[in-house]
């Protein structure tokens, strides 16, 4: 089929050859665009997988940090309660000593 088209276009001389070269260039560009698109899709998919793994790792790290922060807050709250209780006991002692 391609040879039939080419032989038909050569009958028109230079104009036919020019048309054939345009058709070939168009076909080549479509082929390259298709290859580029396939490469881009492959890289995009790999990037999504990598990003997904990074997001999971970040979420895990944030969860661990949240747990550590909650523990630290609980310890600080306990320390403050102990300090308040001790200060109250000291005030009561001082009032009794007067």
- The pLDDT tens digits of the residues spanning 33-90 come to 989 888 888 888 888 888 888 888 899 999 999 999 999 999 999 999 999 999 999 9
- Number of domains present in the structure of the chain: 1
pLDDT-derived band at 1 (thresholds 50, 70, 90) equals low
Handedness of CA 16, 17, 18, 22 (dihedral sign): positive
6 contacts 20 by C-beta, under 8 angstroms: yes
Q: Domain range spanning residue 76?
A: 2-97
Give the position of tokens 């970040």.
58
13 HSE (CA, 13 A, CB side): 1
Q: CB within 8 A of 5, min separation 6: which ones?
A: 20, 23
Q: What is the mean pLDDT of residues 1-24?
A: 77
Is the pTM above the cut of 0.85?
no
pLDDT for 48: 82
């Amino acid at each position: 089929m391609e040879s039939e088209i080419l032989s038909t276009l050569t009958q028109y001389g230079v104009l036919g050859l020019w048309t054939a070269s345009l058709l070939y260039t168009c076909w080549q560009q479509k082929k390259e665009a298709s290859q580029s698109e396939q490469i881009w899709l492959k890289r995009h998919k790999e990037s999504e997988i990598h990003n997904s793994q990074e997001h999971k790792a970040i979420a895990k790290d944030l969860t661990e940090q949240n747990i550590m922060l909650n523990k630290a807050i609980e310890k600080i709250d306990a320390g403050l309660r102990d300090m308040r209780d001790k200060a109250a006991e000291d005030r009561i002692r001082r009032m009794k000593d007067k």
